[in-house]
């Protein structure tokens, strides 16, 4: 099915080989859903949720790796990818989680194997905590969970949430080309940007050029960044760490040693917080391990599936920690 852009003047969203993109109307939001035709009938269902500034395309490679394992769908959160802004302008973690829950309830796909990266990790943690009936397993790649001391390299992203900063940044960088912006993002998000193929780089440039035509692009970025900061400050039962403790689903945590946005040191805390967890540590990966090392993440997920019928949430809660060193180019 050809993609229909959320803005008539914008270029169409890229749809990869074997993928389709459709639009689903929900109360308060319209979501673009990227999917792959299942390799066979009866496969368990999976849903993938991207991070700040990302889209469902961030999961395309991992989805292809998991052909024959799960029936994959990836969502564009409201205001991102090919999804228009939410009707109420709510870009909080709760607002994004509500959109995911409404989608799963509306199409009856739950329970699913739920994946989240960065902002999507915070969103899916909340979904798994408040609606355990919708989640079979949870896979979190560099989840945006509260840190007392954020890395200096993450500070500019957090500052996007301060009123006026996004507009100021837009003015200061108006002469930047899409290529310059993409190089900057890849330098921030990848452990080794040289792993990005020329084709993938060009695809990212074209997608950014498309997004920059959207009148709400920077507003969605700024409000979602503010939503992450607000979620970090919540205490009590609504705090994300408290929510993590409530997650019943077997959980795979993936952290990159070169992540400049989510502290690698948070991996051990996350492994303790989620009651039925296993940790995949990738020393050479950055913030988007599912894009840098999709084969390794796919293998870890298959192992999670194999173990999912083993000791459940009420069993021993010690995390199973795996430290994997992935050779870089030329190693």
- Domain membership of residue 5 (yes or no) is no
Q: pTM for the full model?
A: 0.86
- Domain membership of residue 142 (yes or no) is yes
Q: With residue 62 as reference, give the H or E element that holds it.
A: helix 60-65
Give dist(CA 40, CA 68) in Å, integer.
7
Domain tally, the chain:
1
- Domain membership of residue 8 (yes or no) is no
Distant-in-sequence, close-in-space partners of 136: CB < 8 Å, separation ≥ 6: 44, 111, 112, 113, 114, 249, 308
* CATH at residue 223: 3.40.50.1820
- Domain membership of residue 13 (yes or no) is no
- Domain membership of residue 97 (yes or no) is yes
Q: Which long-range contacts (C-beta less than 8 Å, at least 24 apart) are formed by 124-128? A: 124/49, 124/97, 124/100, 125/240, 125/243, 125/244, 125/247, 126/93, 126/94, 126/97, 126/240, 126/243, 127/97, 127/100, 127/101, 128/247, 128/248, 128/249, 128/251
Q: Write down how long the chain is.
A: 331
Give dist(CA 282, CA 24) in Å, integer.
35
DSSP-assigned beta bridge partners for residue 46:
72, 113
State whether the Cα torsion 42-63-101-145 is positive or negative: positive
- Domain membership of residue 1 (yes or no) is no
- Domain membership of residue 23 (yes or no) is yes
- Domain membership of residue 221 (yes or no) is yes
DSSP-assigned beta bridge partners for residue 114:
47, 138
Each residue's pLDDT, cut to its tens digit, for the chain (331 residues) gives 344 455 545 567 888 888 999 999 999 999 999 999 888 888 999 999 999 999 999 999 999 999 999 999 999 999 999 999 999 999 999 999 999 999 999 998 789 999 999 999 999 999 999 999 999 999 999 999 988 666 555 545 544 444 544 444 455 556 678 898 899 899 999 999 998 999 999 999 999 999 989 999 989 988 898 888 888 887 777 899 999 999 999 999 999 999 999 999 999 999 999 999 999 999 999 999 999 999 999 999 999 999 986 333 333 333 343 433 333 333 3
Print the domain residue range for 145: 19-323
């Amino acid at each position: 099915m050809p993609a229909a852009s959320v803005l008539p003047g914008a270029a169409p969203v890229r749809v990869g080989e074997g993928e389709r993109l459709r639009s689903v109307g929900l109360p308060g939001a319209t979501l673009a859903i990227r999917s792959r035709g299942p390799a066979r009938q009866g496969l368990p269902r999976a849903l993938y949720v991207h991070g700040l500034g990302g889209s469902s395309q961030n999961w395309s490679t991992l989805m292809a790796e998991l052909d024959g394992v799960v029936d994959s769908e990836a969502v564009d959160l409201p205001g991102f990818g090919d999804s228009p802004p939410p009707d109420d302008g709510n870009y909080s973690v709760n607002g994004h989680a509500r959109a995911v829950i409404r989608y799963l309830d509306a199409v009856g796909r739950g329970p699913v194997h739920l994946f989240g990266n960065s902002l999507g990790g915070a969103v899916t943690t909340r979904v798994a905590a408040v609606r355990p009936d919708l989640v079979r397993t949870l896979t979190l790649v560099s989840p945006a969970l509260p840190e007392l001391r954020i890395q200096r390299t993450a500070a500019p992203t957090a500052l996007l949430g301060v009123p006026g900063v996004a507009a100021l940044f837009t003015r200061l960088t108006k002469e930047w080309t899409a290529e310059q912006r993409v190089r900057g993002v890849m330098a921030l998000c990848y452990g080794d940007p040289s792993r990005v193929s020329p084709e993938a780089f060009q695809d990212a440039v074209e997608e950014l050029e498309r997004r920059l035509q959207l009148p709400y692009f920077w507003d969605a970025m700024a409000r979602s960044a503010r939503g992450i900061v607000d979620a970090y400050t919540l205490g009590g039962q609504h705090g994300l760490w408290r929510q993590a403790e409530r997650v019943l689903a077997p959980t795979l945590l993936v952290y990159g040693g070169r992540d400049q946005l989510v502290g690698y040191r948070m991996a051990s805390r996350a492994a303790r917080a989620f009651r039925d967890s296993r940790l995949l540590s990738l020393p050479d990966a950055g913030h988007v391990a599912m894009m840098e090392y999709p084969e390794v993440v796919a293998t870890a997920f298959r192992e999670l599936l194999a173990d999912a019928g083993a000791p459940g949430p009420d069993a021993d809660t010690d995390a199973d920690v795996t430290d994997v060193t992935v050779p870089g180019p030329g190693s």
